[in-house]
Each structure stands twice: as C-alpha cells, then as structure tokens.
Amino acid sequence: MKKLVFISLVAAGAIALPAAAQAQSTDSNKPEVTIGAQVGRHNLGIDLGDLDADNGEFDDLNIKDTGTIYGGFAAVDFPLGENLFAGVEGNASLGDGPIEAEYGVSGRLGFRTEGGAKIYARGGYQWVDLDIENLTGVSEDFLDDNGISTPDVGGDYLVGVGVEVPVSKVVLRANVDTIAFDTLRGTVGVGIKF
C-alpha cells in the first residue's frame, strides 16, 4: 500500500510537470515553501564483526540493516541576500525491512544558483522506529518470553547535503544524510513550491 501511495504521488508530479513548466515571476524576498514526496534507502550501519571475531557466538544472527523509506517533507527557506538562504525542513517516512518509520527536523543553509537550483547543507535531529524482528530475525515473542527488552526507537543528530532543481513550481531533489555518522541515508523526491 505504501508503494502504491508513493507511486501515485510521483505520477501526479510527473503529470503536473508540463503544466508547471510556464515560468512565473516570484518575489525573491518572500519565504519559499516546498511540500513533496520522497523515497530512499537507509543503511543503519550495524556491524557485528567486532563482537563475533573472537568466539563466533553471533554467527547465526542474521542482521538486515538496510531498508527502503517512503514519505514526505515540508521545507521553508528564507532569502539571506541575493544567493544565500536559510530554512527549516521536516520529514516523515514509513519504511520496510528493519525500519518501521522515521521522522525528523533540520535546519538548512545553502546557495541558490542563477538558474534557481539550491545546494545546501543541513543539520538536525532524526528519530528511527525499528522493526527489531525484521532487523535481527529474532521474534518479538521470543524476546518477550525471555524478558529481553530492546529499545525500538532511537534518535540522534543528522547532518547531510542536498540539491534541489526547480522546474517552475515543481522541484526535483536529492539528499545524502547520516545520523551521528553511523548510518547512511539517501533520498530523492519531487515537491511543489508555494
């Protein structure tokens, strides 16, 4: 169902692209709001290599630490002169594999090219809701029956870089982020400027 919703959003963006291709004048001093959909891959960076090097006790534990995420974002950017801008962005995604959901907020600081493309760095905080059973291959019933408590939501600081390319009111974008330099998260998306 999540994939169907995302595909529908992307298709709607693709249909709207030709209609939005007519250039419209904008006031460069006004905040720019962008809302859109995104899809990506998130590698959680879990490595048991150091733990099982000596005795091999984790050899049977099957860690699946990469999942696909589907979600949305909203950003507001404020001009800081002719080419610089600062803004804030929020995101929320559902996932598959080891990721049930993730959500966060970040600040953005970047440069706008003469053609309107934005290149930026961002920093903020990101929470990840894990599917422990899918991540480890160990059933939640087994963990509960044996009194093993495993936290399934974690969060830490996020840093990353991104680029947005406008086509009138439609924005195509790509981001690469890390959470605490432990994970690697790449997303692509399409949004509409207001």
Tell me the pLDDT tens digit for each residue of 67-101: 899 999 999 999 998 899 999 999 999 998 888 99
DSSP of 95-162, one letter per residue?
ESTTEEEEEEEEEEEEEE-TTS-EEEEEEEEEEEEE-HHHHHS--HHHHHHTT-----EEEEEEEEEE
Tell me the C-alpha distance between 150 and 43, whole Å: 19
- Which pLDDT score is estimated for 59? 52
- Which pLDDT score is estimated for 168? 84
- Which pLDDT score is estimated for 125? 97
Helix (H, G, I), strand (E, B) or coil at 16: helix
- Which pLDDT score is estimated for 143? 58
Class of 2-22+31-193 per CATH? mainly beta
Tell me the C-alpha distance between 177 and 128, whole Å: 13
- Which pLDDT score is estimated for 11? 42
Helix (H, G, I), strand (E, B) or coil at 71: strand
- Which pLDDT score is estimated for 44? 85
Which among 69, 143, 139 has a CA at the least distance from the CA of 99?
A: 69
- The residues of the chain scoring below 70 in pLDDT are 1-28, 47-63, 132-152
- Which pLDDT score is estimated for 75? 97
Q: How far apart are the first and last CA of the chain?
A: 28
- Which pLDDT score is estimated for 54? 52
- Which pLDDT score is estimated for 25? 37
Tell me the pLDDT tens digit for each residue of 132-154: 665 555 566 665 666 655 656 78
Element spanning 93, H or E: strand 84-95
